[in-house]
Structure 1
Amino acid sequence: METELVQYIRLVRRWLWLIVLAAFLAGGAAYLQASRQLDLYQARATISVGTYFQAPNPTSGEIYTGMQLAQNYVILAKSHSVLQAAIDEGNLPISVGALSASLSASVVNQTTFIQLSATHPDPILVVQMVDEVAKQLILNSPTNLTPEQQAQVDLANSEIARLNVQLEQSRQRLAALDAQIATATDPQEIERLNEQYNTVISQINEASSNIAWFTDTIARLQQRTNALEIVEPARLAGQVARNEFQTTILGALVGAALAFGLVLLIEYLDDTIRTVDQATQTLSLPTLAVIPKFGKSRASYSERLIAYRQPDSPVAEEYRTLRTNLMFSANGGKAVFIVTSPGPGDGKTVTIANLAVTMAVAGWRVLLIDADLRRPRLHDIFGAENRVGLSTLLALDPGDLPASEMSLHRLPPHYAECIQETEIPGLSVIASGYIPLNPAEVLGSANMQQWFRFFRSSPDIDIILIDTPPVLIAADSAVLASNLDIPAVMVIEAGRTRPGGALRARDRLASLEIDIKGLVLNAVSRRDEGYGYGHDYYYYYYYKKQEAGEKSASNGGAATTRRR
């Protein structure tokens, strides 16, 4: 989980410019859109589902059913038929789509009340819109009684009226009997009046019971769960406040989210090797060095010799790390390495040139050979002549040299001119020379083996570094490493080399039992690799020191000018 979080953080750091740019553009567009909108007015109306709230003791079943029906009426309120009927009946100058977009319907939480609201620039029209939709919603519900139900209600009302008249008459008769019983003296007469009194009482009780039954019937018919009633007519709620700041922030967040989604898509489609972990897991080879991306893309080859031009830079320190790891793997004796890459443009030539500089600066006598007889570049880096070089030497037979002339400094002039000294003490370069028609055959020739034995036995050479063509472009690297039994170092460029190409290059060398010492991950973005505290401190220290040097030089120049 922590590893994934770190990867996402690195991803955001690498693409932060895109995310910020997308957020800025989206936020700006949202602000312009919000500032150009007309003032909006809102109208509201409230509708009740069912009439249970008028009952003294509503049941829980009625309440629950009303709440479920309210959800359905919310959907029905925005249906095409209801909206079209509202437009037709109210003669509203608006389309169904526009009415649907401006209208909202929702159920008040934990109630059976539906709240209809709409927004529109016209305050009068917005009230008409809500009012007509509420009316059409009621017309589409079984709110009114059916003819049969209405007939039952009318019959019950007439019976209640008749019973009320009968009840009043019975009560008057009861009062008269009370008076007669009070004045009567004859026992038989009193008994007869009491019997009549009891009969009237029974008539009153029966009439009251019938009135109650008819009243309950009317209440049951009128009190239905699936009925709508407007409890608050449509009215203007006021002007809708425009929150341009919130709209801008929301637009910026949406833009940033879309940009981040695009970044994830790009990263998903990007199958190149970017980090040390990816390179190590893919190739199962040790990483000898991680070279950060440096310089400008259009910089000349000589400007990329950073180990010599800027020896205190962090990049030069990485090349020194490569030197240390290679010399440790050499296990004593004269070190010889071939530097190659899966494909062109991975930076193998710049890598071997800077590696040679770090070794020469450390005191070793280094011979750097440009065996890339297809696209040579070492002479451009060191400003050497390419008129003669390796191809010239391979046209000559070193077997003709006497044993006393095994030293580089004792070679005859036509041999010695192929080996050029550089401005770095202890570093000699053999350029490629002219381009032969068959580079692989030339590098695999017997003369190449003899010259290699000569260089290896020369007391003037401590380290031999050979730049070769990419493995997947030509067989030169494999032929040279296999014939001369030289270990290889593979350079891959972060964000450019694909795992498939790197694996094919490794397998091609391994099939010839060539010892691959490890790989160099070149042109790594600091945000991709996520350098630790030490690297960050080194970068900070180096650039602060460089700025101080520039200021010192500037002040010195100014003082010189003043003295003049």
Structure 2
Amino acid sequence: MDLNFDRRYLDLIVRWLWLIALASAVAAGVSYYFSSQETVAYVAKARLIVGPGVDSSKPNINDLRTSGALMQTYAELALTRPLLERVASGLGGDVGASKLSKKVEVKANTETLILTIQASDNDPESAVAIANAMAQAVVDLPQTSMEEIIEGVRQQVAEIESEIQRTTTTIDRLEAERQASTDLAQQKLLQDQIKDERSHLTDSHKTLASLYESLQQTVTNQVKLVEPAVEAVQEESKVRLNVMVAALAGLVLSVIVALVVEFLDTRVKTTDQLAALSAAPLMLAVKRHAALGGTGVDRLVVKARPDAKAAEGYRMLAARLLFARDGQAPRTMMCCGPAAAGVDDSAEAAANLAVILAESGYRVVLVDANLAQPSLAEMLGIADRGGLAEALLAKDGRVSPTAIPWAPGLRALPAGGAAPEAMRRLASPRLAEVIGGLSTDADIVVVVTAPVLASAESLAVAPHTDGVLFVARSGRVDRTVMAQATEQVHAVQATLFGVVLTQARRPGTASPRPAAGVPVPMPAADPTRLARGELMLPLASPRVASDPPAT
């Protein structure tokens, strides 16, 4: 099982839990309100039986099958407009066929041959009246035709009985004539006539018996009322079911919305998303913290709030950076954002990182190479003069970084005057000379530049450092932009140390993904020793406690 895959979906649910809960609650609340407004309904039932039923002395399996088929027909006929109009007319009031069809439900049970007519109404007495009226209308459907059939059979019986009477009289007359006659030929003729009449009489008796049997047998096509509606019961409330269905629908809809938004959202928010974009060895997210005002100590979270999770994130960043080159700390590094759009936290992240390194006993120089929009001088509370711009234009090449009094071991080189000539020299060999000069008197030089996709000069700085560290605010940089920035860094043959997400909802790191041309970091420092300030920083010549602070 892919734990990272599962965690991504878990993070998605946590991020959108408010929407899922809100949508479910709103849907359930709306459903409860409208369901509660519905008027209480009462239900009455009348039961009918179709076919011979239990009163038949000789039930026939074919008759029962026929009755089952007829039951479905009667169930459909019960809801036809002519029958509904006839029932509505008998009930009177404002009940029409359309309104009545919504109040009546017919259920057929082909096994028991029971037809149930169910009527619902806000008034229990009206529900009973509707159920009984509908039942009687269904009973009356075959009644007329059956009476006509029975009457026809009775007429046939009467005619046959009359015919039998006439035949009997004729036989008696012929028998008397035969006995009175002395002519043998005449007697033989009369005897043949008597024989024919008796045969006809026998046929008439058989026909009469068949007609009597048909009258005595139960007719298949008949409907009887078994149980009329007597009282109506209150219909079971569907409020709970409606609320549950609505809440489930709201939950499903909110999950779909969250998935669609996540699919369309191309912003980078987590280190896992970074890992899918870049093979950089260092990917770290710094916990979100409140904006800090002021300058100097009050501006940097590692000094103002050293116990905050954001400060711990910067300490972890320092520990991992110092193993970025085959277990050796970089001597120079460039810190910048990927693009100009959005918030650029690179200067603040570089300052916090530089303070951590200085507190660990290393000589650090922080350089503001963003000559177009300098920010380090104001952030650190130092004068913005005698900075990088002047150093690039100076002929003697002397560089004098300003010591930061509240961070021993840390010096800063502000941007200075942003002269056009100085900005052009950022892309010249002169910058390499300045950085090289600073490296001779420092353990680590951190150079802050403009975003690489917004300044060609920033790309020119990258090859003069040991590596580049991207700083992007979580949720403010597009994945495409991050991929383009990474491609630009590799295009100038510079090393990408990693990417840092600031103001992240959840701090953390991503697993390294080695790739061709990208260094693989050594394991980070022990977190327990890190919390005590023992960073175990590997460096060729770290400054010892007895060394005087650099000026």
- Output the TM-score relative to the length of structure 1: 0.68
- Which shows bigger deviation, 428-437 or 294-303? 294-303
- Alpha-carbon separation, structure 2, partners of 1:441 and 1:261: 52
What is the deviation of 1:127?
Answer: 4.1
Counterpart residue number, 1:335: 331
- Alpha-carbon separation, structure 2, partners of 1:315 and 1:34: 50
Structure 1 stretches lacking a partner, 5+ long: 169-195, 402-414, 532-537, 543-564
Check conservation: 1:160, 1:211, Cα contact below 8 A. Answer: no
What is the deviation of 1:245?
Answer: 6.0
Pair 1:431 & 2:427 matched: no
Count of aligned pairs between the two proteins = 478
Counterpart residue number, 2:450: 469
- Alpha-carbon separation, structure 2, partners of 1:530 and 1:16: 24
- Alpha-carbon separation, structure 2, partners of 1:438 and 1:110: 100
Per-residue deviation, residues 368-401 of structure 1 (Å, max 9, x unmatched): 11222233333343233334532232232344x5
What is the deviation of 1:299?
Answer: 5.9
Name the amino acid aligned to 1:504: Q
- Alpha-carbon separation, structure 1, partners of 2:138 and 2:292: 72
- Alpha-carbon separation, structure 2, partners of 1:356 and 1:124: 87
Counterpart residue number, 1:445: 428
Change (3 A) 1:426 1:485: closer
Matches within 5 A, 1:106-255: 106-107=107-108, 113=114, 115-130=116-131, 143=142, 153-159=150-156, 207=205, 211-212=209-210, 215=213, 222-224=219-221, 231-234=226-229, 236-242=231-237, 251-255=246-250
What is the deviation of 1:444?
Answer: 0.8
Q: CA RMSD in A?
A: 4.6
Per-residue deviation, residues 294-350 of structure 1 (Å, max 9, x unmatched): 223586687562222333333323222222222112343652111223223253333
Check conservation: 1:288, 1:518, Cα contact below 8 A. Answer: yes
User: SS in structure 2 opposite 1:373?
Assistant: coil
Counterpart residue number, 1:311: 306
What is the deviation of 1:280?
Answer: 1.0
Structure 1 or 2: more helix by fraction:
1
- Alpha-carbon separation, structure 2, partners of 1:476 and 1:521: 23
Check conservation: 2:366, 2:411, Cα contact below 8 A. Answer: yes
What is the deviation of 1:213?
Answer: 7.2
Identity %: 23
- Alpha-carbon separation, structure 1, partners of 2:112 and 2:19: 48
What is the deviation of 1:157?
Answer: 4.0
Check conservation: 2:468, 2:496, Cα contact below 8 A. Answer: yes
Check conservation: 1:10, 1:528, Cα contact below 8 A. Answer: no
Change (3 A) 1:205 1:239: same
Name the amino acid aligned to 2:454: I
Change (3 A) 1:470 1:73: farther
Change (3 A) 1:143 1:481: farther
- Alpha-carbon separation, structure 2, partners of 1:476 and 1:125: 89
Check conservation: 1:159, 1:214, Cα contact below 8 A. Answer: no
Check conservation: 1:391, 1:433, Cα contact below 8 A. Answer: yes
Name the amino acid aligned to 2:40: D
- Alpha-carbon separation, structure 1, partners of 2:100 and 2:263: 43
What is the deviation of 1:11?
Answer: 2.6
- Which shows bigger deviation, 431-440 or 159-168? 159-168
User: SS in structure 2 opposite 1:496?
Assistant: coil
- Alpha-carbon separation, structure 2, partners of 1:520 and 1:361: 21
Name the amino acid aligned to 2:19: L
Check conservation: 1:167, 1:208, Cα contact below 8 A. Answer: no
Change (3 A) 1:18 1:99: farther
What is the deviation of 1:159?
Answer: 4.1
Per-residue deviation, residues 451-477 of structure 1 (Å, max 9, x unmatched): 112112x23x11111122222222232
- Alpha-carbon separation, structure 1, partners of 2:293 and 2:81: 67
- Which shows bigger deviation, 353-362 or 237-246? 237-246
Per-residue deviation, residues 203-225 of structure 1 (Å, max 9, x unmatched): 889946863577459969x424x
**Which of 482, 501, 505 is residue 525 of structure 1 equivalent to?**
505
Name the amino acid aligned to 2:377: H
Counterpart residue number, 1:360: 358
Name the amino acid aligned to 1:317: E
User: SS in structure 2 opposite 1:385?
Assistant: coil
Change (3 A) 1:498 1:41: same
Check conservation: 1:336, 1:464, Cα contact below 8 A. Answer: yes
**Which of 274, 299, 320 is residue 325 of structure 1 equivalent to?**
320
Change (3 A) 1:473 1:243: same
What is the deviation of 1:504?
Answer: 1.3
Pair 1:73 & 2:56 matched: no
